[in-house]
Amino acid sequence: MDHWLFWVVFAAVTGTMMVLDLRVLQAKPHAISFKEAIRWTLAWIGVAVLFNLFLWYTEGPVPAQEFLTCYLTEYALSVDNMFVFLVIFSALAVPAESQRRVLLWGIIGALVMRGIFIVAGVELVQRFHWTTWILGGFLVLTGVKLCFKSDEQVDPQHNWLLRFARKHLRTTPNYEGKAFFVRHQGQLFATPLFICLLVIESSDVLFAVDSVPAALGITTNTAVLYTSNILAILGLRSLFFAVSELIKYLRFLNYGLSAILIFVGAKMLLAHWWKVSVGTSLTVVGSLLAIAVILSIVADKTTPKPPKDG
């Protein structure tokens, strides 16, 4: 994957999609509809599938299977993390038409941070093999914790970065359209939209602590790790607006994600004695996600609906 053609194709595909996304979605400020979000979500998934086929053709089945497994894992974890974004936007009363701008810059920051996390993680695992046991144990504990996660609300007001910014930055009392900063009487003020961006970025650091070790449990191929993470993250903006409508129906998603994290963690802990093929990992991850979604759909269909008023 060190061949220049691989990175040229990846840059061309992602760059073209980002330009189209920005030109169409950002052309006119508006609240993203559910149908529009679904179309763009499917478009980004389609790009990932096509790139996966290109990877299979140029590099062979193993890197392609590693890519797909990492992509599915990252995407599934992102769906769960979308709930936190929903809470943040609601708690900070972010206007619907301004949310996509925050998500755009949040994703750009996430691309940089994930790259740093991945390079550092691969270097650690390759230099110090015992770190796989630490990461594996962390994933198992995270999976168990996620399985028993309570439904209590996340409170963005407790975010240390939010408290720090409000204390040390001059801020405007109200949102100023899509601006992060404005000038009043010659002085620069941060808007509440910038404060929201800081909270989103700090939250993504915590998300990376889960997702990057999970990806490292699947492969240590830096190119596969980075491209799969990037394509999953780039689809998050449209996914957010789709998930905001769908997440209430995915009641068993946490259990599926919990099982995936525990499986990958156990795989890392037992790697010296128990070798799991990439194909098996892909099958397990895909099956656990499918089961969680199917059970959620069945449960929603069989749960009695409250009678409508009137």
Q: Let me know if residue 206 belongs to a domain.
A: no
Q: How many domains does the chain fold into?
A: 1
Q: Let me know if residue 157 belongs to a domain.
A: no
Q: Let me know if residue 62 belongs to a domain.
A: yes
Written as six digits, the tokens of 24 are 């169409």
CA distances to 20, 38, 65 from 62, rounded to whole Å, are 31, 30, 5
Cross-strand pairs, 188: 183
Q: Let me know if residue 244 belongs to a domain.
A: yes
Q: Phi first, then psi: what are they for 118, rounded to 5°?
A: -70, -50
Q: Let me know if residue 251 belongs to a domain.
A: yes
Q: Phi first, then psi: what are they for 272, rounded to 5°?
A: -70, -30
- Strand, helix or coil for residue 128: coil
Q: What is the pTM of this model?
A: 0.76
Using an 8 Å Cβ cutoff, are 100 and 29 in contact? no
Which residues touch 197 (CB under 8 Å, ≥6 apart)? 102, 105, 106, 180
Q: Let me know if residue 188 belongs to a domain.
A: no
Q: Assign residue 152 a region: left if phi > 0, alpha if psi is -120 to 50, beta otherwise?
A: beta
Task: Give the integer Cα–Cα distance in Å for 39 and 227.
Answer: 22
Q: Let me know if residue 154 belongs to a domain.
A: no
- Strand, helix or coil for residue 249: helix
Q: Which domain holds residue 249?
A: 4-149+211-300
CA nearest 268: which of 128, 139, 136?
A: 136
pLDDT in tens, the chain (310 residues): 556 677 887 888 777 777 776 666 555 655 667 777 788 888 888 988 988 998 898 888 888 999 999 898 888 777 766 767 777 787 778 887 777 788 778 877 877 888 888 888 888 777 777 777 887 787 788 788 777 765 555 556 666 667 777 777 788 878 887 788 888 878 888 888 888 888 888 777 777 777 788 888 888 888 888 888 888 888 777 777 777 666 666 777 778 878 888 888 888 788 767 777 777 887 888 888 888 888 887 887 776 655 555 4
Task: Give the integer Cα–Cα distance in Å for 6 and 2.
Answer: 7
Q: Let me know if residue 294 belongs to a domain.
A: yes
CA nearest 107: which of 99, 97, 118?
A: 99
Cross-strand pairs, 187: 184
CA nearest 268: which of 178, 142, 158?
A: 142
